């Protein structure tokens, strides 16, 4: 359950996601549509997420660094499974790679 003081902060994140998607849809309808609009909305979304981090007393930069490290560690695990398969990564389907990703996550939980 979201605390009352966080409700407007989280609502703002949802609002910004919706605005990003509106701009993405406009870009699909008009190939000449500027990426600048999407970038502007993405900036607003990131700002709203940083605001949530502030409310939660989380350092957003540290959280992002930690997420990047986790992603890199997990991707290295996927590469390990790919190497064990004997096939090049390009020869794997997205579903197979997702399966390796899930195995890496399970391996982490087991340790």
Residues 39 and 81 in one domain: no
Give how many domains the chain has, as a whole number: 2
Residue 54 and residue 12 share a domain:
yes
* 2 in any annotated domain: no
Q: How many CB atoms lie within 10 A of CB 64?
A: 14
Neighbour tally for 101: CB within 10 Å: 15
Give the tokens for residue 37. 């609009």
63-78 tens-digit pLDDT: 999 999 999 999 999 9
Domain that holds residue 43: 7-58
The predicted structure's pLDDT at residue 96: 98
> Is 18 among the domain residues?
yes
Q: What is the pLDDT of residue 1?
A: 65
d(C-alpha 99, C-alpha 93), whole Å? 10
- Same domain for 78 and 53: no
What Å distances lie between residue 29 and 17, 23, 38, 40, 42, CA to CA?
19, 10, 14, 18, 19
Q: How confident is the model at residue 62, as a pLDDT?
A: 98
Residue 89 domain flag: yes
CA Rg value for the chain: 19
Residues of the chain scoring pLDDT < 70: 1, 31
Q: 3-class DSSP state for residue 34?
A: coil
- Rounded Cα distance between 46 and 44, Å, is 6
Do 54 and 71 belong together in one domain?
no
Same domain, 15 and 46: yes
For residues 73 and 65, the answer to whether their CB atoms sit within 8 Å is no
pTM beyond cutoff 0.85: no
């Amino acid at each position: 359950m979201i605390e009352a003081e966080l409700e407007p902060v989280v609502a703002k994140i949802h609002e910004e996601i919706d605005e990003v998607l509106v701009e993405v849809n406009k870009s699909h309808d008009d190939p000449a549509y500027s990426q600048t609009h999407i970038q502007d909305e993405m900036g607003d979304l990131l700002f709203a997420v940083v605001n949530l981090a502030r409310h939660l007393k989380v350092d957003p930069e540290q959280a992002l660094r930690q997420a990047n490290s986790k992603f890199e560690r997990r991707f290295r695990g996927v590469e390990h499974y790919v190497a064990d398969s004997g096939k090049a990564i390009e020869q794997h389907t997205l579903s197979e790679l997702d399966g390796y990703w899930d195995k890496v996550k399970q391996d982490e939980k087991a340790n």
